Amino acid sequence: MSYLVCVLLFGLMVGSVGVASNRSPYFAAMGLVMVSGVGCGVLICFGGSFLPLVFFLIYLGGMMVVFAFSAALSAEPYPYGWGNRSVKMYVAAYVLGVGCAWKVLLGKWSGFWGGNLDESGELLVLRGDMMGVAAMHDVGGWMLVLGGLGLLLTLFVVLELVRGVSRGGLRTV
Amino acid sequence: MTPIQMTFSTMFLLGLMGLTFHRTHLLSALLCLESMMLSLFLATSLWALQLSTINIATVPMLLLAFSACEASSGLALLVATARTHGSDHMQNLNLLQC
């Protein structure tokens, strides 16, 4: 089981290097898709059930879809893939940096399993992290109200940012 | 440090470096910001899962909500840039250049 976690952590690092290495946004969005899928797997390995689902549905199915169709705004005839020289230099620099950091800081592992939420081994109906999120509705009700008000404010912010005809963020159109 | 904490720390730092050294497109800077948010979500979820303090599981949910706010504001700025300058190339944003 710990080998599976090692493979998933490697996938996380590869995807992060792929996002950060300055490729065309099409390929960086694919890297983020891979990172969120593999991150969902990591959370499952550590015993979560609701949080990985939230991650997959909301992050991948909501936000990444919006980023994917916004990538049409950055369309260019020859997007930077892996074959570009500067992208290869960035990838090499990031891989070298990550490798050095791992070698120096993680010379001997101080234990691997911090803990696993379903250590009891039984099949429970009320899973741990789902009950934690339920606490957000119970005692964290005011935080939910604040979050909702923040999202409403963001809606108006976005409407003002893209409004044209000299009333909002676009002055020349 | 355990490998999982090293992983999301380096994910955060990689996203930060990608945000700092972005060169061509505004959207790739926004995607690096999203990878930083992703590493923070992983970190707070693993806090709730590994230490069995399950009340902290509210933190990733609220983080995701506010990260959606930030992503939508960033994309609105991207749309404004694309409508004003015609593309989202960073070299067009040179109004403050001396």
**A22-68 tens-digit pLDDT:** 788 888 888 899 999 999 999 988 888 889 999 888 888 888 888 88
Residue A94 lies in a domain: yes
Say which of B15, B31, B41 has its CB closest to residue A55: B41
SS3 A171: coil
Residue A114 lies in a domain: no
Determine whether the interchain pair A164/B10 forms a contact, defined as Cβ–Cβ distance below 8 Å: no
Say which of A19, A101, A105 has its CB closest to residue B35: A19
Residue A130 lies in a domain: no
What ipTM was reported for this prediction?
0.88
Residue A124 lies in a domain: no
pLDDT at A83 over 90: no
Domain that holds residue A17: 1-107
**Which residues of chain A make contact with B47, given a CB cutoff of 8 A?**
none
Q: Where does B26-92 sit in CATH, by number? A: 1.10.287.3510
Determine the residue of chain A that is closest to B43 in CA distance: A43
Determine whether the interchain pair B64/A128 forms a contact, defined as Cβ–Cβ distance below 8 Å: no
Three-class SS of chain B: CCHHHHHHHHHHHHHHHHHHCCCCEHHHHHHHHHHHHHHHHHHHHHHHHHCCCHHHHHHHHHHHHHHHHHHHHHHHHHHHHHHHHCCCEHHHCCCCCC
Two tokens, residue A73: 């705004």
Determine whether the interchain pair B55/A135 forms a contact, defined as Cβ–Cβ distance below 8 Å: yes
Determine whether the interchain pair A67/B3 forms a contact, defined as Cβ–Cβ distance below 8 Å: no
Determine the residue of chain A that is closest to B25 in CA distance: A74
**Can you give the pTM of this predicted structure?**
0.89
Domain boundaries, chain B: 26-92
Is A121 buried (19+), middle (13-18) or exposed (0-12) by CB count in 10 A? Answer: exposed
Determine whether the interchain pair A173/B84 forms a contact, defined as Cβ–Cβ distance below 8 Å: yes
| Mean pLDDT in residue range B82-96 | 81
**A99-147 tens-digit pLDDT:** 888 888 776 655 565 566 666 666 777 777 788 888 888 888 899 999 9
**B40-49 tens-digit pLDDT:** 999 999 998 8
Is A29 part of the contact surface with chain B (CB cutoff 8 Å)?
A: yes
Is A138 buried (19+), middle (13-18) or exposed (0-12) by CB count in 10 A? Answer: exposed
From the CB of residue A101, how many other CB atoms can be counted at a distance below 10 Å?
A: 14
